[in-house]
Amino acid sequence: MTRIVRITHPHPPLPFYVPQCATEPMRTLGEVVLEGRNPFILSNIEACPGEDSIPQSQNSAALRAVKGSIFRVYAHFFAAFAAVIVLFFPLNLPAQTHFNGAKALEYARQFVAIGPRWPTSQGHTQAEAFLRGQFKHDQLEEDTFTANTPIGPVAMRNFIVRFPGKKDGVIVLGTHYETNYWLRNINFVGANDGGSTTGLLLAIADQLRTEIARNKALEGYSIWLVFFDGEEAIQSWSASDSTYGSRHLAAKWGRDGTLGRIKAFILADMIGDKDLDIQRETRSSDWLVSLMTQAAKKFGYDRFFFQTEGPVEDDHMAFVQRGVPSIDVIDLDYGPNNSYHHTAQDTMDKITARSLTIDGDVFLETIRLIDLR
């Protein structure tokens, strides 16, 4: 029978131990303690083999308790193991915290309550005022331009919010915020399509502000949040009738040299769906897809990401075409047979805090991994 006489740890030994065995040198068992023929798993165990009595020691009371019975031996094993976990592991493995998806959902709810927000509408003006109010204390730029559309010139406005970082370079997170002009007569509020991802970026902004308040700047690259206008077609989707805001901004940043500073562009689109199924967009940069896959695995979210793939025309394409590393994070399977997409059924009851928590966890972890490159 093997009797335990010392349990050690990389830190100083726990206080119950015997300095030597009575008849033979102490034997290290590693992670296995043998009790008869049955292995019992513990950690860093040293034992005196083949002894029926426990040597005298300065901690003989604890050792006599071990000698009492196999049941009590096991009880001490468990107590010792628990002590190691409680004393040491919390120092190295802090509890994993999660993104506040409930806050993102509440932001989305407030935003969607504006109602339809198609370009030229009163709702669109209210959506602009909402975003302006959310970022009135941040580094906010309003990028105004006139888009040439099938209904004539239309005034549009991108919102760019800058959070400074300590590293030289920028990570851009983007979404669109308006709804479809051509759906203006069906009360299309775009809870998932534009609403959920606006809420997501607003909640991410909260975390960025907290970090900046603590450290004066983000630890990694600067992060810019961009709320694009005019992603949706005015009449019918085409290369010239869609993505007005992103095409305008990518061209502008190409002219003034800003594109060269962008380390990654991450676009969020329609990812509040309670049945989350984010596809792999095939024009997205492979290394960004790999990092996001790694980020999802960290949280056990693999099943929500990249189970299907295909090309998508979206706000990332103007950046992809100019050589900016980009990824479109999009769920195009919205409702049975995609039946909620671009319909009056795209309402708040279809999106959840759980999906937005998943999105936020993975986005922030992907940012952390990009910062480490």
Based on DSSP, count helices (H) and strands (E) in the chain, helices before strands. Answer: 9, 11
| Antiparallel, parallel or unpaired: β 3-7 and 278-281 | unpaired
Distance of CA 171 to the CA centre of its chain: 15
Instruction: Provide the whole-model pTM.
Output: 0.76
Alpha-carbon span 206 to 211, nearest angstrom: 9
Query: 9 pLDDT band (50/70/90 cuts)?
Result: very low
Bridge-based pairing state of the strands 27-35 and 139-149? unpaired
Decide if 351 contacts 274 (C-beta within 8 A). Answer: yes
pLDDT band at residue 81 using 50, 70 and 90 as cut-offs:
low
3-state secondary structure of 109: helix
Query: Quick one: pLDDT at residue 87?
Result: 44
* For the chain, domain boundaries: 3-92, 101-372
Which of the 8 DSSP states describes residue 195?
I
**Dihedral sign for Cα atoms in the order 316, 318, 320, 324:** negative
Q: Is 97 helix (H, G, I), strand (E, B) or coil?
A: coil
The strand pair at 38-48 and 27-35 is best described as: antiparallel
Summarised one tens digit per residue, pLDDT across range 312-328 is 999 999 999 999 999 99
In terms of Cα–Cα distance, which of 132, 80, 84 is closest to 111? 132
**What CATH architecture is 101-372?**
3-Layer(aba) Sandwich (3.40)
More confident of the two residues 179 and 34: 179
Q: Torsion angle of alpha carbons 231, 236, 241, 243, nearest 10°?
A: 20
**Which neighbouring-strand residues pair with 163?**
223
pLDDT at 48 over 70: no
CA distances from 318 to 140, 143, 224, 249, 252 (A): 22, 16, 17, 9, 11
Predicted confidence at residue 38, as pLDDT, reads: 37
Quick: pLDDT tens for 210-262.
999 999 999 999 999 999 999 999 999 999 999 999 999 999 999 999 999 99
DSSP-assigned letters across all residues of 209-221: HHHHHHHSSEEEE
